[in-house]
Structure 1
Amino acid sequence: MSAVLEGARNVYWRLSVRENLAFFAGLHGINPQARIDRHEAIIDTLGLTGKADEPAKNLSRGMKQKVALGCTLARETPVLFLDEPMLGLDVETTRDLQTELQRLAREEDKTIVITSHDMAVIEAVCDRVIVLSEGDIVADNSVDNLLDVFQSQTYRVQLAESPPAHLREQLDTRFQLLDWRIDTDSVEFEVALADSEEFYECVDILQTAEATVRSFTEIEPDLEDVFVELTSAASLSPEEAES
Structure 2
Amino acid sequence: MWLRHVYSGMAERVSAGERAGTGAAPTDDGTHDDEAGGDTADDGRRRRRADTDESAPRPDAPALAVDDISKSFGDGDDAVVAVDDVSFAVDRGSVVGLLGPNGAGKTTLIKSILGTVVPDSGTVRLFGVDAASDRRAAYADIDAMLEGARNDYWRLTVRENLRYFATIGGVDPDSVAARHDRLLDRLGLAEKADTPVRELSRGMKQKVSLASVLAGGAKLVFLDEPTLGLDVESSRTLRRELRRLADEDDLTVVLSSHDMDVVEAVCDRVIVVADGRILADDAVAALVSRASADVVEVASPDFEERTLVALDERFEVQSVTPAETGGRTRIEVAADGDELYALMDHLREAGVRIDDVRTRRPDLEDVFVDMTEPETERHEATAAVERQR
**TM-score between the two structures when normalised by the length of structure 1:** 0.80
8 A Cα contact 1:61 1:88, kept in partner: yes
Give yes or no for the alignment of 1:28 onto 2:169. yes
8 A Cα contact 2:295 2:362, kept in partner: no
> Whole-Å Cα distance in 2 between the matches of residues 22 and 164 of structure 1?
63
Corresponding residue for 1:51?
192
Quick one: structure 1 residues 2 and 169, their matched pair in 2 at CA, closer, same or farther if it must change by over 3 Å? closer
In structure 1, which of residues 141, 149, 153 is the aligned counterpart of residue 290 of structure 2?
149
8 A Cα contact 1:4 1:68, kept in partner: yes
Provide the identity percentage.
Answer: 46
Report how far residue 93 of structure 1 moved: 0.8
8 A Cα contact 1:155 1:191, kept in partner: yes
Residue ranges of structure 2 left out of the alignment (5+ in a row): 1-141, 378-389
In structure 1, which of residues 34, 42, 47 is the aligned counterpart of residue 183 of structure 2?
42
In structure 2, which of residues 334, 338, 341 is the aligned counterpart of residue 192 of structure 1?
334
> Whole-Å Cα distance in 1 between the matches of residues 154 and 310 of structure 2?
63
Report which structure shows greater RCO (CA 8 Å, sep ≥6). 2
Corresponding residue for 1:174?
314
8 A Cα contact 2:303 2:329, kept in partner: no
Where in structure 2 are the equivalents of 1:205-220 lying within 5 Å?
205-208=346-349, 213=354, 216-220=357-361
Q: What is the number of equivalent residue pairs in this alignment?
A: 233
Corresponding residue for 2:78?
none
8 A Cα contact 1:164 1:209, kept in partner: no
What root-mean-square deviation, in Å, do the aligned CA atoms of Structure 1 and Structure 2 show?
2.9
> Whole-Å Cα distance in 2 between the matches of residues 32 and 181 of structure 1?
60
Report how far residue 114 of structure 1 moved: 0.9
Quick one: structure 1 residues 123 and 64, their matched pair in 2 at CA, closer, same or farther if it must change by over 3 Å? same
Where in structure 2 are the equivalents of 1:124-135 lying within 5 Å?
124-135=265-276
Report how far residue 135 of structure 1 moved: 1.6
Quick one: structure 1 residues 86 and 26, their matched pair in 2 at CA, closer, same or farther if it must change by over 3 Å? same
Residue ranges of structure 1 left out of the alignment (5+ in a row): 237-243
> Whole-Å Cα distance in 2 between the matches of residues 131 and 235 of structure 1?
20
> Whole-Å Cα distance in 2 between the matches of residues 135 and 40 of structure 1?
41
Report how far residue 104 of structure 1 moved: 0.6
Question: SS of the residue aligned with 1:149?
Answer: coil
Report how far residue 20 of structure 1 moved: 0.9
Give yes or no for the alignment of 1:138 onto 2:279. yes
